[in-house]
Amino acid sequence: IFNLQALEHVNARLLELYPDDEERFDIVLMTNNHAQVGVRLINSINHYGLTIERFCMTGGKSPIGYLTAYLTNLYLSADSEKVQEAIEAGIASATMFTANKDVAYSDTQLRVAFDGDAVLFSDESEQIVKEQGLDRFFEHEQLNENKPLAQGPLKGFLEDLGKLQKKFYAKNERLNCPIRTFLVTARSAASSGARVLKTLRSWGLEVDEALFLAGAPKGPVLVKIRPHIFFDDQMFHIEGAQKLGTIAAHVPYGVAQKYHKSA
């Protein structure tokens, strides 16, 4: 359900530029299938021409305990319970949802889109929205404009993407960088956008594009971006993205989960 060709293209470009450097994407297949299924998995991977060298087959047990040993930067699964377990273990993780229609994705540029609050950042601001309303939220964000937000569960993954991007920038490949990142947030730029951008700057991180939608649906913008994956903490946005053809991943973190479960 995820376009691995774009990842492999990034790796190929990195190998060309840095033949002695092993800092590249490493895809690990984690499954609770028994080891006997391994041959079938290998045949499928070879059939699709994918480069996946490392497997973890746990014979019915949860693979989450192995994530730290495999130095996992991001865990993706269709099993929401395992994703929740990984998030609680402090590992960046999200539940994958396939798109409801076929969309052409780039094979030569990995495009990753992130929501802000409760994904890149903590859920501090979302708590105020849920408990005290939008007016109080706008007031709070303007008062705290120069105070960086705490980090969220996927901050480290954006950091990892940024490190790879800088390898291309160092070789004067900024305009041809095969990784592009997007912030797609329901925040309004005028009333609550500055704190987000200042937080990224304080972390030494950047996104290539920042889209502030002021509460408008995210799906139509994602159609234009065509990300290989979009991360959000609210199922409402995940479902809207799915309907219009975006592969979306739900991050089960923060106050929105409490409201989603009780709905």
Catalytic residue among 21, 102, 107, 115: 115
CA 180 to each of CA 108, 123, 126, 161, 167: distance values in angstroms, whole numbers, following the listed order: 11, 25, 26, 9, 13
Is 135 annotated as catalytic? Answer: no
- The separation between the first and the last C-alpha atoms of the chain, rounded to the nearest angstrom, is 28
For the chain, the farthest-separated pair of C-alpha atoms sits apart, in whole angstroms, at 59
> Pick from 76, 161, 72: which is nearest to 113 by CA?
161
Q: Can you list the pairs that 51-58 forms with residues at least 24 positions away whose Cβ atoms lie under 8 Å? A: 51/8, 51/11, 51/27, 52/27, 52/28, 54/26, 54/27, 54/28, 54/29, 55/28, 55/29, 55/30, 55/31, 56/28, 56/29, 56/30, 56/31, 57/31, 57/32, 57/33, 58/30, 58/31, 58/32, 58/33
Work out whether strand 93-97 and strand 248-250 pair parallel, antiparallel, or are unpaired.
antiparallel
Contacts of 179 (CB under 8 A, 6+ apart): 10, 109, 110, 112, 161, 164, 165, 168
Residue tagged 């502030």 (tokens): 212
Residue tagged 């402090």 (tokens): 90
CB neighbours (10 Å) of residue 101? 9
Show which residues are catalytic.
Answer: 115
